[in-house]
Amino acid sequence: MKKGADMKIAGKAACIFVLLTITKLTRITGNRMAAQAGHSAVMACSHRTRATMVTWKISPKIGGPCTLVFRADQEKVYRTNCSDSVKSEFKPEQFYALEIQQVGMADEGNYSCELVNQEGNFYQMYQLTVLVPPRLSLYCDNHSIPVCEAAAGRPAAEILWVPENSSTTEIDSHDNGTVTVLSRFTAHSTNRKTVTCKVYHATLNETMSTDCSSSQSDLILYITIALGFLIIITFMAVIYYFKLHGCRLCHKTKPPDTSLTHSLEDDTTEVEPYTTYVQKENTIYNSVSDLTGGQNLP
- Judge whether 237 lies within some domain: yes
- 186 lies in the same domain as 171: yes
At residue 222, the pLDDT reads 72
- Judge whether 285 lies within some domain: no
- For the chain, what is the domain count? 3
SS3 for the chain, per residue? CHHHHHHHHHHHHHHHHHHHHHHHHCEEEEEEEEEECCCCEEECCCCCCCCCEEEEEEEECCCCCEEEEEECCCCEEEEECCCCCEECCCCHHHCCCEEECCCCHHHCEEEEEEEEECCEEEEEEEEEEEEECCEEEEEECCCCCEEEEEEEEECCCEEEEECCCCEEEEEEECCCCCEEEEEEECCCCCCCCEEEEEEEECCEEEEEEEECCHHHHHHHHHHHHHHHHHHHHHHHHHHHHHHHHHHHHHHCCCCCCCHHHHHHHHHHHHHHHHHHHHHHHHHHHHHHHHHHHHHCCC
At residue 30, the pLDDT reads 67
- How many Cα atoms within 13 Å fall on the side-chain side of residue 34? 9
Here the CATH number for the domain that contains residue 207 is 2.60.40.10
At residue 54, the pLDDT reads 97
- Judge whether 196 lies within some domain: yes
At residue 288, the pLDDT reads 45
Q: Which of 212, 239, 264 is the last residue of a domain?
A: 212
- 190 lies in the same domain as 234: no
- 126 lies in the same domain as 48: yes
- Judge whether 289 lies within some domain: no
At residue 239, the pLDDT reads 86
- 164 lies in the same domain as 192: yes
- 117 lies in the same domain as 79: yes
- 205 lies in the same domain as 235: no
At residue 10, the pLDDT reads 47
Whole-angstrom Cα distance, residue 121 to residue 54? 10
- 125 lies in the same domain as 193: no
Q: Which of 131, 161, 177 is the last residue of a domain?
A: 131
- Judge whether 122 lies within some domain: yes
Low-confidence ranges of the chain (pLDDT < 70): 1-30, 188-191, 214-220, 247-298
At residue 247, the pLDDT reads 65
At residue 29, the pLDDT reads 52
213 residue type, one letter? S
Owning domain of residue 221: 213-248
- 118 lies in the same domain as 140: no
At residue 214, the pLDDT reads 62
191 Cβ neighbours under 8 A, 6+ residues apart: none
Q: Which of 131, 161, 193 is the last residue of a domain?
A: 131
- 54 lies in the same domain as 38: yes
- Peptide bond preceding 273 in cis form (omega within 30 of 0): no
177 Cβ neighbours under 8 A, 6+ residues apart: 105, 154
- 164 lies in the same domain as 67: no
- 159 lies in the same domain as 182: yes
Whole-angstrom Cα distance, residue 268 to residue 209? 98
Phi and psi at 8, nearest 5°, equal -65, -45
- Residues forming beta bridges with residue 205, ordered by sequence position: 200
- 127 lies in the same domain as 53: yes
